Amino acid sequence: NAGQILMDVARQLTGVAEIANAVRSGRVSAVATVQNALDIIAAKNPQINAVTRTLADRALADATKIDALIANGQDAGALAGVPFGVKDLFDVTGLSTTAGAGRLRDAPVACADAEAVQRLQAAGAILVATCNMDEFAYGFVTDNIHWGLTRNPHDVERFAGGSSGGSAAAVASGMVAFALGSDTNGSIRIPASLCGLHGMKPTHESLPMAGVYPFVHSLDDIGAFTCSAKDLRIVDQILRSGDTSAAASKANVAMLGGWFRQNLSPEMTQALQSISGALNNPPTLVLQNVASARSAAFLITAYEGGRLHLDALRADPLSFDPATRDRLIAGAALPRDVYEEALSHHSSFDAQFDRAFSKYDVLIAATTFGPAPRIDDPVISIDEKPQPVRANLGLFTQPISFLGLPSLSVPLRTSSLPLGIQLIGRRGADAMLLSFAEELEARGLTEGRVAEGRALS
């Protein structure tokens, strides 16, 4: 029957542009795309644990409105009928914004959607789910004592990354076409790398933060996960409320060495060599004092995060996830002068990037040390010493966060587990980075992918 035909078509659609074009043309209904997303969540989420809440009634009602607009010959928006999810720190009307915290499970409900959600829905996108995260966004693995561990769709015995791991896993498993996350020290880029997706931390404060639960105001940003660079550009344009596409041009590229070439897995070392060769072996830059920049970002995070939650820690410390609580308490105990000293490192480190960007448009570095770590072996080797992954997967993303630079993690073409590299640009160069990512994709050097079914069996 007609309904079954529409569902069959919906199941074949995965990308943002692909779904929107099919809905706008009437080849498939928005109701069918939403129902397909809900069916996939029901089938895959019990094993992946990416989604914390499905919004079936809201999503199907919104989809019905989209279909009515199209039936009446009206414009349903650039994202018409595209199902998406949000990290559970975006306000959603009628729901408590938990930020992954059990203590906020019964908090007063949001009276309005976050501004980013409003912009996406105005363009026809349909919110179908909220997604798992590390409590209060403090972690790199999405292992939550209240909502459980999110598993990597490409290998369920491995971490999805964090703290936006639920959003990444939802896209990588095909539950939604795109999802929103937040990135303070790597919380979009790291799960994007481990799950084989495109994910971007934009220029600091360039995307709307209204209605997003805060963590570290000096570093927090929001962004999206998608399977393709083209899709990421489309979503980014909607979030910015305008056309931010950049004309394709030849970018001057450099590879980052030194700190950014140490402590890499053999797979990542080989991948960087391959991408360098494909780009005609661009020069390598070695930045100084990267370890200090990472430490500064670490201290700023600890201090601001600890101070944000200080009253709650004093009133009810046992309501926190122990892994989060101890780090927040340590941060709250930091003296103000330590925090101010960390902030003072900004100017000297920033000057190095200013010099680099006077010659180059894009700097390339690994996003993570290598493929997703195993859940039963939650350590990575740093300077030949085992270190916990929850705090150390941001080895290469934290120094970039410190400066508020746009950084886009793109998935390399691999025959095994996903690997991602960062494309880093000067402030405000977000559109250029997205165009460069599309160029890499067009050349077949990068490839986002939805996990195959056998990984979920």
Is there a catalytic annotation at residue 201?
no
Return contacts of 291-294, CB within 8 angstroms, 24+ apart.
291/259, 292/345, 292/349, 293/345, 293/349, 293/398, 293/399, 293/402, 293/403, 294/394, 294/395, 294/398, 294/399, 294/402
Residue 79 contacts residue 238 (beta carbons within 8 Å): yes
Q: Closest Cα to residue 154, out of 40, 4, 47? A: 47
**Residue among 440, 442, 401, 443 at smallest CA distance from 421:** 440
Would residue 187 show up in a list of annotated catalytic residues for this protein?
yes
Sign of the Cα torsion 58, 21, 453, 373 reads negative
Q: Report the C-alpha gap between 188 and 174 in whole angstroms.
A: 17
Which of these is catalytic: 187, 193, 228, 407?
Answer: 187
Compute φ and ψ for 94, nearest 5 degrees. Answer: 85, 0
- Taking the C-alpha atoms of residue 402 and residue 220, their distance in angstroms, rounded to an integer, is 10
Cα–Cα distance list, 205 to 67, 217, 245, 344 (Å): 35, 9, 19, 20
DSSP assignment of 79-132: TTT-EEEEETTB--BTSB--TT-GGGTTSPBBSS--HHHHHHHHTT-EEEEEE-
Residue 241 bears catalytic tag: no
Distance CA 57, CA 60 (A): 5
Contacts of residue 192, Cβ cutoff 8 Å, sequence gap at least 6: 161, 168, 198, 199, 225, 367, 409, 411, 420
29, 44, 87, 173: the active-site residue: 87
Matching residue, tokens 């039963």 = 376
Contacts of 359 (CB under 8 A, 6+ apart): 252, 254
**Out of 29, 44, 163, 182, which one is annotated catalytic?**
163
For 207-224, letters b (16+ CB in 10 Å) and e give bbbebbbbbbebbbbbbb
CA 144 to chain centre: 17
Active-site amino acid positions: 87, 163, 187
